């Protein structure tokens, strides 16, 4: 009899293939953000549906007027989810280092999603400042997961700086344009020893699947789920897409041919 278990529940047990970053194992290769949701309830439901373990959070001033309950720890259980503080919104290395230290001081983690923006309009990263901040933070013992562009040389420098993972963008943050340069993503993956996680620009499930099919170790996204009409449904689609893309990459795709090759036997045809 053929086993009839689904990929999502049978594969992890029979064929373990976890994402490992900085010595820590994650139960999902999908990492998700917690921003831009219409409500905290929707955010929690979507994150649950995504199957992600690693969720990014931002460090911000407490709203002393308390117009709404922004404290993520009131909504997400840090025993259930791995909270990854980011340095989003930082434009200099010093600023990013400051935010990273504040994130670590919460006492939950020494991981940081390093992000130093170089241009306000495109939100493209500042490679030089990112490398500089990565070096400082890695020396301080941080496990740095660095958001970067899809440039191989920058990725290599970030690895040299001591990053635990390098996270090239698929396309600009929040754009939903998908993987604009799969060749560069494959090149980065081929040359780096540390995990490569595609971060930013994924718009829909096929983008996430396609990113994983390039052989990368994971995908990090936020807007694609939070900005969908039905975030919970899209979160589930992303979970399946990342699993499918990973499985397809491990399976090794068939070669692309310029001509048709029949799938049915050409013998045994009737006269």
Binding site for another protein (CB under 8 A): 33-37, 43, 56-62, 64, 66, 70-73, 83, 85-86, 88, 101-103, 105-107, 173-174, 221-223, 226
Nearest alpha-carbon partner for 158 in 113, 121, 201, 124: 113
* Distance in Å, CB of 185 to another protein, minimum: 19
| Residue with smaller CB distance to another protein, 21 or 173 | 173
Q: What angle do CA 14, 145, 115 make, to 5 degrees?
A: 140
| Residue with smaller CB distance to another protein, 26 or 147 | 147
Please give the positions annotated as active site.
113
Tokens, residue 209: 């699947």
CA distance readout (Å), 232 to 38, 39, 80, 209, 262: 12, 12, 18, 18, 40
* Distance in Å, CB of 257 to another protein, minimum: 40
| Residue with smaller CB distance to another protein, 85 or 125 | 85
Give φ, ψ of 101 to 5 degrees. Answer: -65, -40
| Residue with smaller CB distance to another protein, 12 or 35 | 35
Query: What is the spatial distance between Cα 56 and Cα 112, in angstroms, rounded to a whole number?
Result: 9
* Distance in Å, CB of 101 to another protein, minimum: 6
* Distance in Å, CB of 86 to another protein, minimum: 6
Q: What interhelical angle do 40-50 and 231-251 show, nearest 10?
A: 20
């Amino acid at each position: 009899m053929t086993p009839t278990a689904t990929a999502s529940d049978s594969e992890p047990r029979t064929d373990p293939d976890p994402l490992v970053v900085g010595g820590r194992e994650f139960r999902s290769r999908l990492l998700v953000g917690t921003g831009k949701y219409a409500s905290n309830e929707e955010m929690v439901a979507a994150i649950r549906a995504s199957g992600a373990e690693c969720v990014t959070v931002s460090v911000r001033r407490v709203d002393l007027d308390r117009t709404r309950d922004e404290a993520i720890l009131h909504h997400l259980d840090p025993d259930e989810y791995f909270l990854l503080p980011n340095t989003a919104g930082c434009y200099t290395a010093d600023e990013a280092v400051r935010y990273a230290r504040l994130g670590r001081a919460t006492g939950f983690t020494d991981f940081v999603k390093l992000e130093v923006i170089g241009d306000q309009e495109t939100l493209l990263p500042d490679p030089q400042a990112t490398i500089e901040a990565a070096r400082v933070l890695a020396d301080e013992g941080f496990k740095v997961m660095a958001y970067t562009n899809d440039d191989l040389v920058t990725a290599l420098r970030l690895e040299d700086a001591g990053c635990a993972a390098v996270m090239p963008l698929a396309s600009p943050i929040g754009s939903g344009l998908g993987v604009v340069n799969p060749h560069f993503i494959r090149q980065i993956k081929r040359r780096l020893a540390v995990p490569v996680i595609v971060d930013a620009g994924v718009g829909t499930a096929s983008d996430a699947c396609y990113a994983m099919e390039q052989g990368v170790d994971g995908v990090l996204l936020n807007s694609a789920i939070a900005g969908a009409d039905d975030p919970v449904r899209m979160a589930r689609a992303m979970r399946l897409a990342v699993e499918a893309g990973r499985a397809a990459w491990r399976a090794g795709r068939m070669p692309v041919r310029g001509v048709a090759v029949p799938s049915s036997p050409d013998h045994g045809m009737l006269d």
